[in-house]
Chains A and B, each alone.
Chain A
Amino acid sequence: MCVGLSAKVVKLDKGMALIDTQGVQRQVSAQLLTDLEPGDYVMVHAGIAIAKIQSSDTEEAHTVLTALTNKDN
């Protein structure tokens, strides 16, 4: 249902963020996130930044799998 786009914040101005993904840029609304800074990564859906991304999917998958297998053993 909800195609998300992970993108890097390039610039912030008046509630809007210029984001970049693989060299493609777009203005999106940053009104729903606080404490954003250029260089942060955000998840964008339909032109709105909905969440700040905390780590890579690799790190996350690794952490989740480690937690599970440790619990398991």
Chain B
Amino acid sequence: MQSTVLLAHGGGGAQTRDLIAQVFQNHLANPEFTQDDAAILKLGQEHIAFSTDGFIVQPYFFPGGDIGKLSICGTVNDLSCMGAQPKWLTCAFVLEEGLPLKDLDTIVASMAATAKEVGVNIVAGDTKVASKGQVDRIFITTSGIGQIITPNPPAGSLAQNNDAIIVTGDIGRHGAAILLAREQFGLEAEITSDCAPLWHLVRKLYAAQIDIHVIRDATRGGVGTVLYEIAAQSNVGIHIQQKAIPIEPQVQGICRILGLDPLYLACEGRLVLFVPQDKAQDTVELLQKEAHGQNAAIIGYVDAKQKAGTVVVETEIGAVTVLPQPTGELLPRIC
């Protein structure tokens, strides 16, 4: 084990999993401790989903959203991934001395607007102020409780052979928008974050009786990381087609310039769904009619021919090769 926490531990990939296993699971393991985005708990006759998520983002205002909207979307989407209707949220703020009150006001207004869009109430909160330099301006943690609306809730372990794999929109926009907003590499483009609450998509699919096996929101680590997580949790092989993955040209452009793979850029408003093959087309058509679902596409399937735990890509020349896993921090490859 490393002697200190590294940035790569927060990347969402293999090192994040190691940290969870070696520290958190090691001390906190119990029968209800979950590997999914939210725990499913029994309360009387009801099943509820319970989730929590912390948010740091630099800069805290970015095209398409801000840390406030992000903090609501994150927990709402985590609950949605369990087939749970978000009911109540709480939030905790850690604020740095010197943060403009005007900015805080904008951020909280944006939280309120997003919560309203979902139809969820923020019912409790907490505020701490840290002295200058102790934190980077504003950290938000939200927790949420949702009510499970399906008798067969989805889970990361339930992917089955031949399931179709669907993304609910073009990928990598949040990661690309943040890269641009940091003005680090001198790039100019008009990319807005995909940051969005997605409960309405899940509700719609359940209303249409789609038997969804897995729902996962692709956040840090992107869609590629989700695919590897599901391959491992469900013990299956996954086959995706490069050409089928929806990617906005400008996001593709950023990736070409910096030598990055869009499959590993963060999203904040994209779900990865595993559904039975015969429902795949219906699912995509339903999604495409909804806000934040217009670019939904089938990108691959669970492939019994592939080794369990692996993800392969059919490339543009028709060869099938392993999708490389990211190794911690995403670094531009230039020379």
Q: Determine whether A and B are in direct contact in the complex, meaning some CB atoms lie less than 8 angstroms apart.
A: yes
Q: Are A3 and B252 in contact (CB under 8 A)?
A: no
Query: A25 an interface residue at 8 Å Cβ cutoff?
Result: yes
A49 to B334, CA, bound (A): 14
Q: Are B335 and A24 in contact (CB under 8 A)?
A: no
A23 to B186, CA, bound (A): 14
Among B185, B250, B334, which residue has its beta carbon within 8 angstroms of that of A22?
A: B250
A2 to B259, CA, bound (A): 11
A26 to B332, CA, bound (A): 16
Residues of A within 8 A of B (CB): 1-3, 5, 21-27, 45-47
User: What sequence of 0s and 1s flags, for each residue 227-266 of chain B, a beta carbon within 8 Å of any chain A beta carbon?
Assistant: 0000000000000000000000110111011010000000
Q: For the complex, count residues of B whose C-beta is within 8 A of A.
A: 17
Q: How far is the CB of B308 from chain A (nearest CB, A)?
A: 34
A45 to B334, CA, bound (A): 8
A-B interface, 7 closest residue pairs, ranked by CB to CB distance from nearest:
A22-B253, A24-B253, A22-B249, A24-B189, A23-B250, A25-B188, A21-B253
A11 to B70, CA, bound (A): 37
A32 to B59, CA, bound (A): 36
- The 25 listed contacts between A and B (C-beta, < 8 Å) are A3-B259, A3-B333, A3-B334, A3-B335, A5-B257, A21-B253, A21-B256, A21-B257, A22-B249, A22-B250, A22-B252, A22-B253, A23-B189, A23-B190, A23-B249, A23-B253, A24-B189, A24-B253, A24-B254, A25-B187, A26-B185, A26-B186, A26-B257, A45-B334, A47-B186
